[in-house]
């Protein structure tokens, strides 16, 4: 198993600032480029777990690259280049302070809310009698606020977003249109691979008045996939779906009495589970993309990344 990249502290030419997210470290180069280093950190319930997952960052970065390229006809995206398996360099954009969540099925957090009596997600009413993993007649848009580091994302309605001035009504309508079109494209690609795109999140920004798709897209950290084969049979029997996502990490944490609530204590994570998670991410990569995953050399991963980014910036 390779080394895990859990933190970075680069100082690139022209660097103005460095932002550390839950998983990504983002370097602002002269307000022209963003260098996004996708680490091997893993988060669940908005908490970063203490151990990194080898090759996870490479998996996320390379899946995002594939889907950014596959959806560029729907909306421009921020990607300029991927100079390293863990790095994307892209346009500097002003980020919209909301995340657009598209749900095709009642599962995960939406099912937990529904099971506890909730019949409304972000202003979208839900009928009685739905079952876990049931498909919605049409995908639902259930946005959240984009939380600051260490805070939790919060559900918010379309009306609240516009009323609070977080996004203009004109821009929000466009974000809705784009998000549903991206989900449709992602679902079509997933179907070709024998998968179901269950739910996902999109983030957007603006540059020179143009909306751009930013960050990751259709990765296991931002999305949930079911295997199409056997879905209906499992649903009819009320069984859990076979899925490709990091939901199994959340389930493991819940089994160990952790859901990110006040007073919850993170359990000790054994190496065997770290290795299992890494293998699951690689499995997901190969199932989503149809490509064989090629592990990068992680012996000196920080040096590798620094050299690749510096070489790119010299030519930019």
pLDDT for 89 equals: 98
Q: Nearest CA to 200 among 177, 214, 217? A: 217
Tens digit of each residue's pLDDT (9 = 90 or more) over 125-137: 999 999 999 999 9
Work out the burial of residue 264: count CB atoms within 10 Å of its CB; fewer than 13 is exposed, 13-18 middle, 19 or more buried.
middle
Contact between 253 and 237 under an 8 Å Cβ cutoff? The reply is: no
Does position 185 have pLDDT exceeding 90, yes or no?
Answer: yes
Tokens read off for 98 = 């909301």
Q: Please, are residues 181 and 100 in contact by the beta-carbon 8 Å criterion?
A: no
Residues 153-182 have pLDDT tens digits of 789 999 999 999 999 999 999 999 999 999
**Domains recognised in the chain with CATH numbers:** 96-244 (3.30.470.20)
Cβ atoms of residues 252 and 273 within 8 Å: yes
Cα separations (Å) of 315 from 257, 304, 311? 50, 17, 7
Q: The pTM is what?
A: 0.90
**In the structure, what pLDDT confidence band is assigned to residue 213 with cuts at 50, 70 and 90?**
very high
Res 149 pLDDT > 70: no
């Amino acid at each position: 198993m390779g080394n895990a990249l859990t933190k970075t502290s680069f100082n690139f030419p022209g660097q103005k600032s460095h932002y550390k997210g839950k998983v990504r470290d983002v370097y602002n180069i002269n307000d022209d480029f963003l260098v996004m280093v996708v680490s091997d950190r893993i988060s669940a319930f908005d908490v970063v777990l203490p151990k990194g997952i080898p090759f996870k960052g490479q998996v996320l970065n390379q899946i995002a690259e594939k889907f950014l390229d596959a959806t560029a006809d729907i909306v421009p995206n921020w990607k300029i280049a991927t100079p390293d398996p863990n790095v994307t360099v892209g346009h500097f954009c002003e980020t919209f302070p909301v995340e657009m969540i598209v749900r095709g099925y009642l599962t995960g957090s939406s099912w937990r809310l529904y099971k506890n009596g909730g019949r409304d997600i972000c202003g979208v009413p839900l009928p009685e009698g739905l079952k876990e993993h049931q498909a919605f007649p049409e995908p639902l848009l259930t946005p959240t606020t984009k939380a600051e580091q260490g805070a939790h994302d919060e559900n918010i309605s379309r009306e609240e977003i516009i009323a609070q001035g977080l996004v203009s009504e004109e821009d929000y309508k466009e974000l809705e249109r784009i998000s549903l079109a991206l989900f449709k494209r992602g679902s079509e690609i997933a179907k070709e691979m024998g998968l179901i795109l269950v739910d996902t999140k999109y983030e957007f920004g603006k540059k020179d008045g143009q909306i751009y798709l930013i960050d990751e897209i259709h990765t296991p950290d931002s999305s949930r996939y079911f295997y199409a084969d056997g879905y209906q049979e499992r649903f009819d029997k009320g069984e859990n779906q076979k899925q490709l996502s990091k939901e199994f990490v959340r389930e493991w944490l819940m089994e160990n009495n952790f859901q990110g609530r006040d007073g919850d204590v993170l359990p000790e994570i054994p190496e065997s589970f770290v290795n299992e998670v890494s293998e699951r991410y690689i499995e997901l990569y190969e199932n989503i993309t149809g490509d064989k995953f090629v592990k990068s050399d992680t012996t000196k991963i920080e040096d590798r990344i620094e050299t690749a980014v510096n070489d790119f910036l010299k030519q930019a």
